[in-house]
Amino acid sequence: MTVNLAMIPDDDIEVLNTIIAENEEFKITGYYFIPISDKQCQVGMFYNKKDGLFYFDKGFKLTSNPVEDPSQIPAKLNESD
């Protein structure tokens, strides 16, 4: 059985790549791997080790793509002044 994994450099939280591996024990020196399973994850997202979820921002606030769902962007950031 294969698994989808998020590939993240050691000492970082940004997803560098997503891969398909033979099992969850897959390893490459310099990276850690998180099973994606039912979680939304794509390259460039950020992994929150505390809740095990992936976010579109380093502050762990945006849970969906802000381009597709701009309602998540705080009003102050969404202003075009």
pLDDT digits (tens, 9 = 90+) for 36-72: 988 889 999 999 999 999 999 999 998 888 778 777 7
Beta-strand pair 46-48/31-35: unpaired
pLDDT of residue 77: 52
Distances (CA, A) of 21 to 2, 15, 34, 56, 77: 5, 16, 11, 24, 39
pLDDT of residue 38: 82
pLDDT of residue 68: 81
Give me the torsion for CA of 31, 11, 54, 32, rounded to 10°.
20
Banded pLDDT at 81 (limits 50, 70, 90): very low
pLDDT of residue 76: 58
Domain boundaries defined on the chain:
3-78
